[in-house]
Chain A
Amino acid sequence: MAKVDYATLKKGGFMRQKQKNNFSLRLACVGGALTAENLKKIAEVAEKYGDGYVHLTSRQGVEIPFIKLDDIDDVTADLAKGGCRPGVCGPRVRTVTACQGNTVCPSGNINSYDIAVKLNERYFGRELPHKFKFGVTGCQNNCLKAEENDVGIKGAAQISWKEDTCIHCGVCEKACREEAITFRDGKLVIDTQKCNYCGRCAKSCPVDAWDVNEAFLVSFGGTFGNHISKGREFLPLITSEEQLFRVTDAAIQFFADHANAGERFKFTIDRVGEEKLYEVLKGAYDG
């Protein structure tokens, strides 16, 4: 038998198991969304080629364990018929994770899934010095744990008060968990130092007396493996998708340019210097 190219298999989502010639096949799965058609095909393949079960990964993906080396081509072709593609592993951009966002969730400030799909189209599988993870969460509740990721995106609400519409009911003042809102002489005052852009003021307002712009808070350098570190926000509020992608382009390029092989983004930032990254990010932020 020809020598098995494990690196290529791993790149194509086939993870070598401890059992010889068995692979756990990782599927591409953006933001944890799979269609019923995908699921039927996954079930079929797991029964026919695997051990009749799947593993749901920590990054919202699906792996089908116990795929045999000899079946790899057949499995890949069969899965494609159900609209499923293999995922990736190794030193490249991984599955983009996301919560359901504001298409489904009342708390969502952004369409997380849509952002995840766009990030995926932009970067998925891009070769880099080490793994690189994006995660998108819709709001400050942070169900998707943005700061665990190399680049974490959190939906935010850029708000401004509409005095003419306001009925001065006082609901927003109490809905705000940061105590950033007070009424003084009939005027609403926002403490911008305290506001965390959660959007609860606008969501609770009975008369929608707020202009709300979908915005983003982005953290950099999160990692939760052998070393644990929370991603940090270096930039002010990002107020458009265009600006967001300028910043993510700059972050990933910084990593491509400066990282050593096998070095996660956090350690590149530590080694090269936060101020260097900030300079690049701020340039992209300002356009």
Chain B
Amino acid sequence: MADYKIDDTVDITDVVCPVTFVKAKVALEELDDGQILAVRMNNGEPVQNVPRSIKEEGHQILKLTDNGDDTFTLIVKKVEDE
């Protein structure tokens, strides 16, 4: 994660679908265009689906990192709607 300057972090390991995506989406809304969010999520259903949902919202996914504790961190660059 050292490769990216993280502007904000959100932990969605305490919620389940569909709130996982909603929580990440709300965190992204607080950022400015081009800023970077780190999203910590659980293995399984969240890591299968949340990255795709964020992509479909139009944001740019940079990296998914295995934290080694059955959680993953997704690095996302916010892309503002035109």
* Partner-B contacts on A (CB < 8 A): 106, 167, 169-171, 173-175, 177, 200, 203-206
Contacts and interface: CB of A to CB of B under 8 A. Distances in A.
B55 A206 contact: yes
A194 to B, nearest CB: 15
B56 to A, nearest CB: 6
B61 A171 contact: yes
Contact of A170 (B48, B52, B65): B65
Interface residues of B, number: 17
Given A174-B47, A174-B72, A200 B64 contact: no
Contacts of A204: 51-52, 55
B48 A175 contact: yes
A204 B64 CA distance: 12
14 contacts: A106-B56, A167-B63, A169-B62, A171-B64, A174-B43, A174-B48, A175-B47, A175-B49, A200-B48, A200-B52, A204-B52, A204-B55, A205-B55, A206-B51
B59 to A, nearest CB: 9
Nearest to B63: A169
B9 interface: no
Interface string B23-67: 000000000000000000001000111011001100011111110
Q: Give the one of A106, A169, A173, A206 with max B CB within 10 A.
A: A206
Contacts of A203: 52
Task: For the complex of A and B, list the 8 residue pairs with the smallest distance between their C-beta atoms, beginning with the closest.
Answer: A206-B61, A204-B52, A170-B64, A174-B47, A171-B51, A169-B63, A171-B64, A206-B55
